[in-house]
A and B are shown apart, each in its own frame.
Chain A
Amino acid sequence: MKEELIVSGRMNSMIDPHLNIWHWEIPLYLFLGGMAAGILAIAALYFIRGREKDYRTAVRLTPFLAPILLVFGLLALFIDLRHKLFFWQLYVNIKLQSPMSWGAWVLMVITPVSFIWCALHIKDIFPKWDWKYNWLINVESFFNRYKKVLAWVMLIYAIILGIYTGILLSAFNARPLWNTSILGPLFLTSGLSAGAATTLLLSKNKDERKQFARIDLVLIGIELFFIIHMFMGFLASTQVQIEAAHLFLGGPYTVSFWIFVVILGMLIPALLEFMELGKYHIPSILPATMVIFGSLMLRFIIVYAGQFSRWLY
């Protein structure tokens, strides 16, 4: 039997015995950003395909949540910074190798775009809305004229934002659990799924609800596929990544991951959505809130478990 004992004179509670640098702010932001990305991508896609009339909620109503989610997400990011007064340094530097840098710039584009998208549809919510000033009316008509261009910009940037929330973590090879490029597509799909669930929750149109239950079902299937792939990749990789996978396969995050993310956040809502598509009537609030909850838990568990995983030397 081999014994190994490592005694380190370095006692820093943010590093030892495991990394403890990112708390609730980062996973919350990853969730809010991912969900906003999902909502905006779906809205832009259906607008571009000319299905605005069929899916009014998805194109016109649900996007009103996006700027709110983005603003709270940015606020969480700001709270996370330890040298807050220097935050503007993010916007005087472009570092293409740093996902956090281009993520900051993507947010700089998608946040105003989401506000403009809402402004174009505000009369749907407040029929008596009046822009009051002539120049505001001019601005509105300008964007209305180029709405298709705006939708394309929104679609592309929303997808980049959705992927970025995962790539942000996968750039860190120091944390073997995060160091997998599948986190990008996984978080994008999870964000799209949360976005579809939001429309499922808000829509009053039965056909639209059915359509979004169908979309969500497909997205959950893709997500499960990515999760299985992630574990296959880990288990076929180096020792540190095998250990990272074991955080979820018998380790401290096993119960929370499989129960909250996979069973409550994916399998049960998928079953409910499947039943809804059949002849059963399921209140859509059930699968929708479960999917959104699962999406939130996925971020929290990946961010916290990743800080547990490390190289041992």
Chain B
Amino acid sequence: MRYAMAVDTRKCVGCSDCVVACQTENNVPSGFCRDWVVEVTDGTYPQLEMEIRSERCNHCINSPCVRCCPTGASHFDAGGIVLVDHNKCIGCGACIASCPYDARYPHPDGYVDKCTFCSHRLKKGLDPACADVCPTKCIYFGDLDDPNSPVSVILRQRKSKTLIPEAGTRPQLYFLI
């Protein structure tokens, strides 16, 4: 099993519903977020091009955060999901410094927190909250080992990219272009 997510940058309108859904679902303290929206405007006026991306933890296969964590609090769960064990985390910040995507934040309770792909929802057979709530249905989620999962299907049909693959992290958050 290998969980992955694909975000359609051509369908995303940048409404931030995914951000709010995540904050509500996961009780994210105010001032922080586990997912966020990036808008990139490229070119010179009037020839402009815009890309909108809903970003979150990339659940990398070669995760610098798991490697740098001194206690094993950051670990791989079933399906390659990168999770933080709150009772093992000492709040040293090594994982935050090690993440090239800056996907982690220090929770006010002391431990480090991040996107979990809503692993508590996956156990019930549900999709992550951000994917479920998206009004344009631009977030595809599923198991890459299953050729019929929504993410496998869409990644076969469309061209995609990952963010800074040159950082060597092998990210599992794909952007359809």
Query: Which residues of A come within 8 Å of B, CB atoms?
Result: 1-12, 14-16, 19, 21-22, 80-84, 86-87, 89-90, 92-93, 95, 97-101, 103-104, 171-175, 238, 307, 310-311, 313
CB distance from A6 to the nearest CB of B (A): 5
Residue pairs across A and B with CB atoms within 8 Å: the count is 151
- Chain A residues, CB < 8 A from B110: 82-84, 86
Beta-carbon contact of A171 and B102 below 8 Å: no
Using a CB-CB cutoff of 8 Å, which residues 91-127 of chain B contact chain A?
91-94, 96-100, 102, 105-106, 109-112
**Interface size classification for chain B:** 35 or more
- B interface residue numbers (CB < 8 A to A): 16, 19, 31-33, 36-45, 55, 64, 67-73, 87-94, 96-100, 102, 105-106, 109-112, 163-164, 166-168
Q: With a CB–CB cut-off of 8 A, which chain A residues contact B68?
A: 97-100, 171-172
Cα(A87)–Cα(B88), bound, Å? 9
Q: Which residues of B contact A15 (CB under 8 A)?
A: 96, 102, 105
Measured between beta carbons, the chain B residues less than 8 angstroms from A92 are 71
Task: Determine whether the beta carbon of A3 is less than 8 Å from that of B42.
Answer: yes
Most buried by A among B33, B68, B71, B106: B71
- Chain A residues contacting B96 (CB-CB under 8 Å) are 14-15, 19, 21
B33, closest chain A residue (CB): A10
**For the complex, what is the distance from the CA of A224 to the CA of B112, rounded to whole Å?**
38
CB–CB A174/B87 < 8 A: no
CB distance from B87 to the nearest CB of A (A): 7
Write the nearest CB–CB distance from B80 to chain A, whole angstroms. Answer: 17
Question: Is the pair B44, A1 in contact by a Cβ cutoff of 8 Å?
Answer: yes
A2-B42, A7-B39, A171-B98 are known contacts. Are A12 and B69 too (CB-CB below 8 A)?
no
| Contacting pair B38 A8 (CB below 8 A) | yes
Q: How far is the CA of A83 from the CA of B109 in the complex (A)?
A: 7
Whether A6 and B38, one on each chain, are in contact in the complex, defined by CB atoms closer than 8 angstroms, is yes
Q: Which of B36, B39, B64, B93 contacts A80 (CB 8 A)?
A: B93
What residues on B are CB-neighbors of A99 within 8 Å? 68
Indicate if the CB atoms of B73 and A5 lie closer than 8 Å. Answer: no
Q: Given B40, B67, B70, B100, which contacts A93 in the complex, CB threshold below 8 Å?
A: B70
Pick the contact of A12 from B32, B43, B88, B112 — CB < 8 Å? Answer: B32
Whether B44 lies near A313 (C-beta < 8 A) is no
A97 to chain B, nearest CB (A): 5
In this complex, what residue of A is CB-closest to B38?
A8
Q: Shortest distance in angstroms between B129's beta carbon and chain A's nearest beta carbon?
A: 16
A232 → B minimal CB distance (Å): 21
User: Does A311 lie within 8 Å of B167, measured CB to CB?
Assistant: yes
Query: Which chain B residues lie closer than 8 Å to A84 at the CB level?
Result: 90-91, 110
A238 to B167, CA, bound (A): 11
| A281 CB, nearest partner CB in chain B, Å | 46
**List of 6 A-B pairs having minimum Cβ-Cβ separation, nearest first:** A82-B91, A10-B36, A83-B110, A83-B91, A100-B70, A101-B70
Determine whether the beta carbon of B40 is less than 8 Å from that of A90. no
A307 to B38 alpha-carbon distance, docked (Å): 21
Identify 12 residue pairs between A and B in the complex whose beta-carbon atoms are under 8 Å apart, listed by A's number: A8-B39, A9-B36, A14-B105, A15-B105, A22-B97, A81-B90, A82-B93, A84-B90, A86-B89, A89-B90, A100-B92, A173-B168
